[in-house]
Amino acid sequence: MALIMNSDLVSQAVNASGYRRLKMRPGIYYGAMIKHEYDNRRITINGETKIKHKTREIYTSDIKEKYIKAVPIEQPLIIHKLFKEFKRLKPSCDDFYNTYKMLLNKYNLSCNNGLSHVNHGMLVVDGEHLNRVTDNPSRNILKLDLDAKNWFESFASLHIFIMY
């Protein structure tokens, strides 16, 4: 069965209505990056918060608006420790990724699937570590209608986002 994608929606920017900026930082959430309007329409998360967040590209310093559908993580102590140490180290652009990967290894975490989302203002941890990050890991956050014809289109890569 072929996945049918509306190419017009893939080329459209995310419709930002309903997305809000975080009031408290760092914000630590579990969810999906929304890259274009196709993602915005196909991905739904139970109890979602729709976040828009500005980041700065590491090497070019370009400001990028990121969109995320996610749920907050309760008591993410290991993430707070990692973030505090990362901020203390203040890595330069040249060693930003290596410093972050070193800290992830120290805490037995990874960012193999979400490294492209890491920028000044946002760090990412692979969603597979959710059970190590919180005492209340709810992995079943995607709203899926398994009776729908193309139910598989609603799947997404889930990550832990640290927005600062």
Sequence-distant (≥ 6) Cβ neighbours of residue 102 within 8 angstroms: none
Q: What are phi and psi of 91, to 5 degrees?
A: -65, 145
Sequence length of the chain is 164
* Beta carbons within 8 Å of 61's beta carbon, 6+ residues apart: none
pLDDT, position 23: 94
How far is 32 from 44, CA to CA, in rounded Å? 9
Mean pLDDT by 10 residues, the chain (164 residues): 63 95 95 95 93 96 97 94 96 95 97 93 95 80 67 74 97
Question: If residue 105 lies in a helix (H) or strand (E), which one and from where to where?
Answer: helix 96-106
Q: pTM here?
A: 0.87
Please report the pLDDT score of residue 76 as a whole number. 92
Indicate the helix (H) or strand (E) that contains 123. strand 122-126
| Confidence (pLDDT) at 97 | 95
> 53 and 121 in contact (C-beta within 8 Å)?
yes
At 3 the pLDDT is: 47
List the domain boundaries for the chain. Answer: 20-163
Residue 154: predicted pLDDT: 58
Q: What is the pLDDT of residue 2?
A: 42
How much is the pLDDT for 156? 76
* Cβ-Cβ contacts under 8 Å for 90 (sequence gap 6 or more): none
Q: Using the CB atoms, write b or e for 74-111: b if 16+ within 10 Å.
A: eebebbeebbeebeeeebeeeebeebbbebbeebebeb
Pairwise CA distance, residues 30 & 162, whole Å? 9
What's the confidence (pLDDT) of residue 9? Answer: 86
Handedness of CA 105, 109, 115, 118 (dihedral sign): negative
